A and B are shown apart, each in its own frame.
Chain A
Amino acid sequence: MGVQTPGTRPMTPPAPSTVSRRRPRGALLRAAIRTPRGGVGLALTVLVVVFAFVGPLLAPYSPNGLATVQFAHPSGRYVLGGDFLGRDVLSRVMAGGEVMLIMAAAATAIGIVAGALAGMAAAYLRGWPDGLIMRAVDVILAFPQIVFALMLLAMVGPKLWLIVLAVGLSHAPQVARVVRSATLDVSERDFVKMAELQGMRPIRVMRTEILPNLVSPLMVEIGLRLTYSIVITAGLAFLGFGQPPPAASWGTMINENRVGLALNPWAVIVPAALIALLTIGTNTLTDAFARVAIGVDRRPEEAALLDDLNTETAA
């Protein structure tokens, strides 16, 4: 309980959300995983991701080979039955996640990097860069994400790299907004002023002083954007913008097989369920992280202090 001078804002109990309690790298993430919410999220995510990456190696049949009759019921040989052409659904499900996951991850990376750079520059530089960047953001935000991606694809044609780019760019504005507000908060702090007082250049101030303090909001954004990327990539695949036809993809499978929903529902339910489990997983994990970072699930200061003491004596 310190004092403060007249007229200035209240004294600081250690700052909240963005500038949070430091700990060795990744400690917040570890703390998040230890919460029940985080544990469930991580388990779901890992389960689906492992399935998607190991699946292609273990698939019992070729995903593209005709094996049985159209919309065959599940049987001993074909556990999940056949699809609209008579291909083995299980093999296609096992093969159909990998590419989509890679695409979603790449799109997330593009969105986060572009958005973070734009948001940070807008908030720290203020003035005309702020106006320019944020108006551009507003324009992009005027389109729904999937419409924006479709528009880009319609102009150039459905190439995989373009899909990734389109999805990524459609994320950037949201990321930019979040990062901008976090940066506004951080750049008001005295250590940033201190760096300016030493004549440090803006780029370097942003890189060395501000960016490390944006880790928490960025982690939350990464989780959130990954979830959306999966949904949008799968959605685009459903609409026909994805890997070209013979290739298996969960989004495409839902579209291809929905006419036979009454005959072999598993051909639709399983890929849909996998997408759902994965997004629930990433979202829950992100939520757990955000709660720990913001302090909702954090234990009181005194308890943290005790932890420190214990680790110090143990070390």
Chain B
Amino acid sequence: MRHGRTAIPAARTSPETAGRLEVQGLTVALRGPGTEVVSDVSLSVPAGQVLGLVGESGSGKTTVALALLGHARRGLQITAGQVRIDGTDLLALNKAGLRAIRGATVSYVAQDPLSALNPALRIGTQLREILAAHPAAASDPGARMAEVLHEVSLEGGPELLRRYPHQLSGGQQQRVCLAMAFACRPSLIVLDEPTTGLDVTTQRHVLDTVRSLCASHSVAAVYVSHDLAVVSGLAAQVAVMYAGRIVEIGPATRLFQEPLHPYTRRLIAAVPSPDHAYKLAGIDGQQPGPGQRQDACSFARRCSLAVSECSAATPRLIEVNGRMVRCIRATDAKPGQVPRPPLLQPALGRPELPLLAVRRLSAAYGPARVLHEVAFEVPRESCLAVVGESGSGKTTLARCICGLHRNWTGEIALRALPLPSGTRHRSKEMLRTVQYIFQNPYTSLNPRKTIGQIMLGQLGLFWDIRSRERSERVVRVLEDVSLSAEYLDRYPDQLSGGERQRVAIARALVVEPDLLVCDEVTSALDVSVQATIVELLRRLQAERHLTLIFVTHNLALIRSIAQSAVVLRGGHVVESGPVAHILEHPSDPYTARLAGDVPRLIAGRPGSSQGGERPVGDFPETDTPQYSLPHCGKQVSPADLHPRADDARGMGA
């Protein structure tokens, strides 16, 4: 398998005793002040295995991922440590040495395939470039190209190679990136959230491909993600990062089964599940940034188990039960207790009195029809989830309701009063009653206005009230979303993603709407932040008697917030009804597939060397979530990965 590569000197340690990738004491700091961004990271990945590197935004996981290629972003520099791939220390190489190794011995798959691929070059050209840059990697580049394309299930032959990146779907683009990464038969492949932009179904295909390719070519892989659930089905080992340090690292099975570090436990508690209605628990407070970190446990301020010794010094990694944990209380705190309180959903509002009724709604973008005769009702004071994969028309539906999309026919009635299409034709009262929250809090707040200006401006559009009363109201609403009056003078880019989304919610609430349309409001956020936002929305809905339309592609999430759901496929409603019923007894195969493809936290990974330790489904009943995943039970062979016109594997059959 590893023929024809000469770039690596002979000094190798045997793969049995050491990993294919060995990282020792890796430290990355700001150029100049020398403030550490990533401190003392050590890990080891054997051939054929995947290590999941998990953490929230700002934990330094991408910085570590790039350092594995010997690269530091502008303004940063790698100040200490070793990154050994098959015994060669990458950090000791000069520029020419690094160039020879990158792409050939170690390769990288970026988060966004469209920006990773050159839009002006054909797919074939870009693949050939990689092989041309490393002539030693393959004796017959043409044959290698065909081989790799087959491995990543990109069939289509010469016709596909002539296409440009924008002519491919997101999933295909990411497959091209994978093909490029595997083309030179690397020893190590670094994947930086490669599936975050993809549908659950496409995501699962990509994950399957990565898993099988790593195993069959004995490639060591580091998979960076903020989502524990994604990693759990893929990685044999998981490293959890917090504030630039690894706080827990060990076999995935054990780590998910009985997490030791309080942070790991909280992360697990924040993952929504499509199988049980949990009350999600986010993590309050914020991770300290570089420069704010003191010589103490950086999680102590957010930790419910913290004692005074926690703030005395940075805890060292200690070994507990075959895992390394950076917590002085890891041994005395009872392991494996992840609080997951079940959620008792209130009964479904009052269905006889719908707040919003949609009838025979059809919408189009130019000649393309995106919604076909959609009909549903939203009972008063309830939450309706609109789910579907990308292109199913769910965002268009939300935009028709709020008036952003004007090209529709049919009827949308609010309290039996039909809403005109387009905001220009709606009365002030209609506009106020229906508020919309955008997906991306990074673009939905005007960066040139303070939070106070944004909120007061919104209020001033609808009510002519004295300025004193106005600011009182604004502060009240800010407090309602767990922010405070201190935020009034801040600008959006001084806030974290979660705080921005809270501001966006507060802006909608300040005009006291009846219907809140939430368009993928958590998908730009970390899982732990997502949990707090969902809980916030649930609380506000009850307190303020709101009716919610919650648009999402994440089926796991709807269980924790919605009472009823509408499933969209290609602009048609394929199923609707109570959430629990839809998820447990889907009547349409599409719904079943969507639900089946949602990544779940599982305490074990089949196909890994640890996988045999504990068969899936053999766990004692604790309150740690374990779910078996129907399609995870077998080793995926490349033959399984060919795209199928009608993919029914995810149905759990």
In the assembled complex, the Cα of A181 lies from the Cα of B43 at a distance in Å of: 48
Given known A10-B112, A199-B423, contact A5–B30 (CB-CB < 8 A) = no
In the assembled complex, how far is the CB of residue B232 from the closest CB belonging to chain A, in whole angstroms? 16
Does any Cβ of B come within 8 Å of A75's Cβ? no
A2, A196, A300 — most chain B CB neighbours (10 Å): A2
Pair B290/A190 contact, Cβ less than 8 Å: no
Pair B30/A303 contact, Cβ less than 8 Å: yes
Q: Which of A5, A199, A308, A309 contacts B439 (CB 8 A)?
A: A5
Given known A3-B523, A3-B524, A10-B115, contact A190–B440 (CB-CB < 8 A) = yes
Pair B75/A299 contact, Cβ less than 8 Å: yes
Does any Cβ of A come within 8 Å of B74's Cβ? yes
A-facing residues in B61-89 (Cβ within 8 Å) = 61-62, 73-76
In the assembled complex, how far is the CB of residue B556 from the closest CB belonging to chain A, in whole angstroms? 13
Pair A19/B197 contact, Cβ less than 8 Å: no
Does any Cβ of A come within 8 Å of B155's Cβ? no
> Does more than half of chain B's interface fall in helix, strand or loop, or is it mixed?
loop
In the assembled complex, the Cα of A54 lies from the Cα of B147 at a distance in Å of: 77
Given known A10-B114, A12-B440, contact A302–B75 (CB-CB < 8 A) = yes
Pair A6/B525 contact, Cβ less than 8 Å: no
Chain B neighbourhood of A12, CB < 8 A: 440, 442-443, 524
In the assembled complex, the Cα of A191 lies from the Cα of B507 at a distance in Å of: 11
Pair B525/A213 contact, Cβ less than 8 Å: no
Pair A2/B390 contact, Cβ less than 8 Å: no
In the assembled complex, the Cα of A19 lies from the Cα of B446 at a distance in Å of: 9
Chain A neighbourhood of B101, CB < 8 A: none
Chain B neighbourhood of A305, CB < 8 A: 289-291
User: Interface size of A by Cβ–Cβ distance < 8 Å?
Assistant: 41
B424, B447, B523 — most chain A CB neighbours (10 Å): B447
Pair A14/B493 contact, Cβ less than 8 Å: yes
Pair A199/B461 contact, Cβ less than 8 Å: yes
Given known A10-B197, A191-B444, A199-B461, contact A306–B35 (CB-CB < 8 A) = yes
Chain A neighbourhood of B428, CB < 8 A: 199
Pair A300/B74 contact, Cβ less than 8 Å: yes
Chain A neighbourhood of B608, CB < 8 A: none
Pair A2/B57 contact, Cβ less than 8 Å: yes
Does any Cβ of B come within 8 Å of A273's Cβ? no
Chain A neighbourhood of B112, CB < 8 A: 10-11
Pair B114/A7 contact, Cβ less than 8 Å: no
Does any Cβ of B come within 8 Å of A193's Cβ? yes
Q: Which of A3, A193, A302 contacts B227 (CB 8 A)?
A: A3
In the assembled complex, how far is the CB of residue B434 from the closest CB belonging to chain A, in whole angstroms? 8
B-facing residues in A15-41 (Cβ within 8 Å) = 15, 19-22
Pair B75/A3 contact, Cβ less than 8 Å: no
Given known A10-B115, A22-B491, contact A2–B524 (CB-CB < 8 A) = yes
Interface residues on B, range: 35 or more
Chain A neighbourhood of B311, CB < 8 A: none
In the assembled complex, the Cα of A260 lies from the Cα of B428 at a distance in Å of: 74
A11, A189, A208, A212 — most chain B CB neighbours (10 Å): A11
Does any Cβ of B come within 8 Å of A200's Cβ? yes
In the assembled complex, the Cα of A11 lies from the Cα of B192 at a distance in Å of: 14
Chain A residue with Cβ nearest B33:
A306
A8, A300, A302, A306 — most chain B CB neighbours (10 Å): A302
B-facing residues in A189-210 (Cβ within 8 Å) = 189-191, 193-194, 196-200, 208-209
Contact with A along B444-464 (1 / 0, CB 8 A): 111111000000011001100
Q: Which of A194, A209, A303 contacts B32 (CB 8 A)?
A: A303
Chain A neighbourhood of B290, CB < 8 A: 302, 305-306
In the assembled complex, the Cα of A190 lies from the Cα of B112 at a distance in Å of: 21
Residues of A within 8 A of B (CB): 1-8, 10-12, 14-15, 19-22, 189-191, 193-194, 196-200, 208-209, 212-213, 215, 299-303, 305-306, 308-309
Residues of B within 8 A of A (CB): 30, 32-33, 35, 37, 57, 61-62, 73-76, 111-112, 114-115, 170, 192-193, 196-199, 202, 224, 226-227, 289-292, 389-391, 402-404, 423-424, 426, 428, 431-432, 435-436, 438-440, 442-449, 457-458, 461-462, 491-494, 497, 507, 520, 523-526, 553
Top 7 A-B pairs, shortest CB-CB distance: A300-B75, A7-B390, A6-B390, A212-B448, A190-B444, A12-B442, A10-B112
- Chain A to chain B contacts (Cβ below 8 Å), 27 pairs: A1-B224, A4-B439, A5-B390, A6-B170, A8-B439, A10-B114, A10-B115, A11-B196, A12-B443, A15-B442, A15-B443, A15-B447, A21-B493, A22-B448, A22-B492, A22-B494, A190-B440, A191-B444, A197-B402, A199-B461, A299-B75, A300-B73, A300-B76, A302-B35, A302-B37, A302-B289, A306-B35
